[in-house]
Chain A
Amino acid sequence: MIYTACRYAPSELFAGFGETAERLDPTPSGFECAESCSHPNMCGFSKAVTEEIMTRGITRVVLTDCCDAMRRTFDVLKAMDGMAFVWLLSLPHRTGEPETALFASQLKALADAYSRFSGIPFDEAKAEEAFRKSAVSPSLPEGPFIAVDGAHASGALMKEIRSVFSDTPVVNRTCTGERSLPYAEPSEPGDFFRRYARALLTQYRPCMRMLSAGTGRTPEEEAAPAGTIFHTIKFCDYYSFRYMNEKDSGQPIVKIETDSSLQSGGQLLTRLEAFREEMDMKEGKEVSMNISPVKKSSPRPDGRIFTAGVDSGSTSTDAVIMDGHGNILGRAILPTGAGAVSTGAKALETALAEACLTRDDLAAIVSTGYGRTTIGIREASDVTEITCHARGAIWLDKDARTVIDIGGQDSKVISIDEKGKVLNFVMNDKCAAGTGRFLEQQARALGMSMPEMSRKGLEWKKDISISSMCTVFAESEVVSLVAQNVDTADIIHGLNKAIAAKTAGLAARVSKKPGYILTGGVARNEGVVKCLEEKLGAPVFVSPDAQLCGAIGAALIALESAGVHA
């Protein structure tokens, strides 16, 4: 068995040696081996390939020089003991005649090398047959479909996506996705390598490294999907560029980023589910969120309807009780602490107590936030915080069009319409920069509480900049500024500016529509709000109930499910 990692790899060639080629599909749990012999700042897929080869003891590998990272993966494998056959196929960036000739000579060199290595002569007829069989037209599902585009999506990731979009076909259009070579019949003896090289270079959907990738689309690609899930991999250069040019196409699109492992499943699931909700809403499927009414013995005798929304975030768990007119009757904000399960139930009970109601009075409960599925409230249906924040924001401010939520664990920007429906959204990627956690960490370094930090930050006199956005680097910068006797208020202002710049950058990726509303715990920090207004060049509305936005949205969605539109 020969292992490859790219759809430009000449899998059919190995049929000429009676061998089969298998495309690697790694989903490692970590990168211990790969990082020890290379560098942490490498593309996640290249690290995953190295990790897979090392842990499975694979010894025959043919890679293509599709990107800088794969070239270095080859170097690492080549230097490794125990590898029997490692080859890097030089791949041109163009697809013209000179490049085809050059690539054909590379394929021939590979065949010769493998023949020398294995002692098996190359049987061109067998390779030709495999080449002929590989010529299938790109498949397109009938009716609406979801496309997964961008960088390599592993089988495990595709499975996760398919589980979220269980009622819609999902097509893998990533760089390692569907492969279809244009077959050409032999026109003269000995032209196999030239024809095969041509087919490999001009295959359906060129990879972003090919110069032709930026020029025009095939008719198949013109068949627009109902929605695109755009996958980028940490430290992959190519696909954020494609995303940059496709995100403004007007088609529904969501970006997800992984490092090729399936870590951070919570963030991933939130994005996928929020995207499904966004698409459902665009299609007018108002209640496709499967919110089931709370099972109870009998409805309230007075016919009044009450619902609850519970937002289980990484820092706090918030609950809201709402009546049928959309009025808030009870609220609770509790620190999440170590037990999201018990805190969820506790927040709900606290809010119910304030509203003088019991669980039996509730028609529906919607949970949201990272702990939405593990919240421990049996009757609750879960909806992502993206959708809930959108609904909550329009309730807090009818003019809101861009919701900026800076939570403890992540930050997000949601573009919404006048009804609080999600038009588009972005979230920060697996990094504390620009989140509440970033500020918490710096507050600790300064030895003060968050409310103290918020107040102190307004007293700044000297405009200084904190240059690092990495939480760890910023902390050492803060410590060093303290050592230089820089006024604490000035340092906090520098931090506020840094977080505002990061957030404004995120906002620019999704929406530049005024009508900004800031939600989440960081909304209480006046210094951040002021800096954000400066960066955005527009006022930012902060409601006294800003922190409850997700829970309010959840309660409103619960009301909608009960047939009430507040």
Chain B
Amino acid sequence: MKLIRRQNADLWNWSPVDQLSTLREEINRLFDSPFGELTRRMELFNGWAPPLDLYEDKDNLVVKAELPGMKREEIEISVHDGTLTISGERKYEEKSQDAEPYRSERFFGRFHRTLALTKPVQPDKAKATYKDGILTVVLPKTEEAKPKQIQVNVS
């Protein structure tokens, strides 16, 4: 992987165009990323795909999404047929009238992610919070999906 990157580096160097330089960097990042980040890097071709994590404890499924720099009202969450959908739009805010872009790596615009939930949940009891650019959705499992302890009486 590293070898390919270095060989290609010179090919890219000829262009003074900012966009190509960004593309080159994305490609470098793709090759330098550990395997777990590869899915995330696919956003280079598919648009913005914020990374999602799914956790489970005794009572809940917890989904976390990295959505830095959004407003609460720009995020939509829905649960339908055992699938969680998180979508929204991050709008570009003009810094000032005379601002010239120098480096642009951040994505702006719409995103749409769906995640199959591994356990049945109660959508009406779901709670979502947005803090430090992380969306956390807590989905309580249905009573049937919760682990039960069965008392065994030994007589």
Q: Bound pair: A and B?
A: no
